[in-house]
Amino acid sequence: MLDTDLDDIHPLFADAPSTTGFKKLRKRIVRYTREAIEQYGMIEQGARDPDAKPQKWLVCLSGGKDSYTLLAVLYELKWRGLLPVDLLACNLDQGQPGFPATVLPEFLEKMGVPHRIEYQDTYSVVMDKVPAGRTFCSLCSRLRRGNLYRVAREEGCSAVVLGHHRDDILETFFMNLFHGGRLATMPPKLINEEGDLFVYRPLAHVAEADCEKFARSMNYPIIPCDLCGSQDGLQRQQVKQILDGWESNSPGRRQVMFRALMNARPSHLLDPKLFDFLGLERKKTESDTNFGEIPVLR
């Protein structure tokens, strides 16, 4: 819980509404983000040492509501001295036709946010490689992630920070369950395959609806992803509709399911790689000791 009054503290909050509802929303998002950062150890050891070289995070911006919320809340935590890292915002312009390439650079300049705009035409690669009627998301995300890792290394960053929220994590879990045959989702913290960069998701506990309300209330210039959003029948959209239905019939269901991801019991699942079922032994009783003895007839 933050004790400091939530007054405007950074240009990112210059037009923040003064309503009680928005202040509660902002405070909730900050609290949940701080909890995730602390719970999953996103601040490396030594980062709080005033004599140490500041760590640097590459904060990835798509121009969507989630990434704007991520950037704002990280700056609020940094302003309050709760996030001892340097932040570099980065947008990867993937060459998508009609993409408003000037929106993010102008916004970041106006806000005084250090940033890097990287142009890589991954759009043409995706369109060339993906057969007609298939979804673009998998290849698009791999190409995007590879370029972001490269930029992070070039900028001396220790972590790539993404704007995935609670609902993204929950939807990915059900996509893996329904279509992948595994219990897995997006972790709040992981190390890339090369082992030289962390990947963080500080909004892991934040609801999508809160990101939507926050970004809209702040009038941030939202850029839609028309490349993926224009396709019908995406598995993620189907899962989202299922979860929306459950939430509508039983409000709060999403949060209950999300808590389940934080309360796994390997002994009550079926994966022998996670729990040693073969090594289970029951406690010997007196009847076991006497088992096999032949009673004496008198």
* 3-class SS letters over the chain: CCCCCCCCCCHHHCCCCCCHHHHHHHHHHHHHHHHHHHHCCCCCCCCCCCCCCCEEEEEECCCCHHHHHHHHHHHHHHHCCCCCEEEEEEEEECCCCCCCCCHHHHHHHHHCCCEEEEECCHHHHHHHHCCCCCCCHHHHHHHHHHHHHHHHHHCCCCEEECCCCHHHHHHHHHHHHHHHCCCCCCCCEEECCCCCCEEECCCCCCCHHHHHHHHHHCCCCCCCCHHHHCCCCCHHHHHHHHHHHHHHHCCCHHHHHHHHHCCCCHHHCCCCCCCCCCCCCCCCCHHHHHCCCCCCCC
Kindly report the pTM of this predicted structure: 0.87
Q: Residue 1 pLDDT more than 80?
A: no
Binding-site residues sit at 137, 140, 228
Position 290 in a domain: no
In a domain, 282, yes or no: no
Question: Which CATH number goes with the domain that contains 168?
Answer: 3.40.50.620
The tally of CA atoms less than 13 A away on the side-chain side of residue 101 is 13
Of residues 5 and 19, the one with the higher pLDDT is 19
- State the helix-helix crossing angle for 208-217 and 166-175, rounded to 10 degrees: 140
User: Does position 138 have pLDDT exceeding 90, yes or no?
Assistant: no
- 298 in any annotated domain: no
- Please give the pLDDT value at position 7: 53
Instruction: Evaluate whether residue 169 is within a structural domain.
Output: yes
User: Residue 5 above 60 pLDDT?
Assistant: no
Q: How many CA atoms lie within 13 A of 279 on its CB side?
A: 6
pLDDT of residue 233: 43
4: in domain: no
Residue 146 CA to residue 122 CA, distance in Å, equals: 11
Burial class (CB in 10 A: 0-12, 13-18, 19+), 279: exposed
Residue 3: the pLDDT is 44
CA distance 99 to 83: 32
- The rounded Cα 292 to chain-centroid distance in angstroms is 59
Total domain count, the chain: 1
Amino acid at 98: G
The reported pLDDT for the residue numbered 2 is: 46
For the residues 255-263, what does the mean pLDDT come to? 96
Residue 234 falls inside a structural domain:
yes
Percent of the chain's residues with pLDDT above 70: 87
- Percent of the chain scored above 90 by pLDDT? 67
Residue 2 lies in a domain: no
Q: Is the pLDDT confidence value at 298 over 60?
A: no
Mean pLDDT of 6-25: 85
Annotated binding site for [4Fe-4S] cluster: 137, 140, 228
Is 296 inside a domain boundary?
Answer: no
Banded model confidence at residue 249, pLDDT cuts 50, 70, 90 = very high
> What range defines the domain where residue 77 resides?
11-268
The per-residue pLDDT for range 70-117, each reduced to its tens digit, is 999 999 999 999 999 999 999 988 877 888 889 999 999 999 999 999
